[in-house]
Structure 1
Amino acid sequence: MTKDEVRAKWAVAKRMVEITEDEYASHNVEAQAIKFVKTKLQIAIYYLSQLDEHGSSYTMPFTGKQMKEALKTPITKQNVKDAADWCHQCRLIRDKACATWNYEEAKTA
């Protein structure tokens, strides 16, 4: 996929995990939990978009429905755990794939 195609593919998901100004400004437990979940999902989406840019085939570790559930408030310990697990799985998938990438591609991705 081209970078534009990747951006279009992940645009909705990226909007869903944007951290709002209120969430940034708040320091209560719920806001911290939603920031953690959104940050982990942002990182997971970044890894998956890298895989798409390099034409790697992969199996999604989570579905759109699961992602929406993880973002529902109140944020539970399970939501936090799921987001962290998905992020870790995406990193492992990316790391396994990137061993076969050309260094120049990986450096500019």
Structure 2
Amino acid sequence: MTKDEVRAKWAVAKRMVQITQDEWDSHNVEAQAIKFVKAKLKIAIYYLSQLDEHDSNYTMPFTGNQMKKALKSPITKQNVKDAADWCHQCRLMRDKACTSWSYEEEKTA
């Protein structure tokens, strides 16, 4: 896939995980949990988009519906655990596939 095709494929997911200014400004437990979940999903999407850019075959560790469910309030411990697990799985897939790639790590936080 070209970079433009990858951007188009992941545009909706990236919008869903954008951390709002209110979430950044808030320091309550719920806001911190949603920031964590969104940050992990943002990183997972970055890894998946790298795989797409390099035309790698992979199996999605989560579905769109699972992602939507993980972002619903109130954020539970399971939502946090799922997002962290998916991020880790995506990184492992990327790391396994990237041995021959030439890329620069994007700053995600």
Which TM-score tier does this pair reach, normalised by the shorter chain? over 0.9
In the TM superposition, what is the alpha-carbon distance from 1:100 to its structure 2 partner?
Answer: 3.1
Residue in 1 that maps onto 2:13: 13
Residues 108 and 32 of structure 1, relative CA distance in 2, 3 Å threshold: closer
In the TM superposition, what is the alpha-carbon distance from 1:49 to its structure 2 partner?
Answer: 0.2
Tell me the C-alpha RMSD between the 2 structures: 1.3
Q: Equivalents in 2 of 1:76, 1:96: separation in Å?
A: 31
In the TM superposition, what is the alpha-carbon distance from 1:108 to its structure 2 partner?
Answer: 8.3
Q: TM-score, normalised by structure 2?
A: 0.94
Cα shift readout 1:81-103 (whole Å, capped 9, x = no counterpart): 000000000000000000132x3
TM superposition outliers: structure 1 runs of 4+ over 2 Å? 106-109
Residue in 2 that maps onto 1:97: 97
Count, aligned residues? 106
Q: Equivalents in 1 of 2:68, 2:91: separation in Å?
A: 20
Q: TM-score, normalised by structure 1?
A: 0.94
Residue in 2 that maps onto 1:81: 81
Cα shift readout 1:58-101 (whole Å, capped 9, x = no counterpart): 00000000000000000000000000000000000000000132
Amino acid at match of 1:64: G
Structure 1 residue runs of 5 or longer lacking an equivalent are none
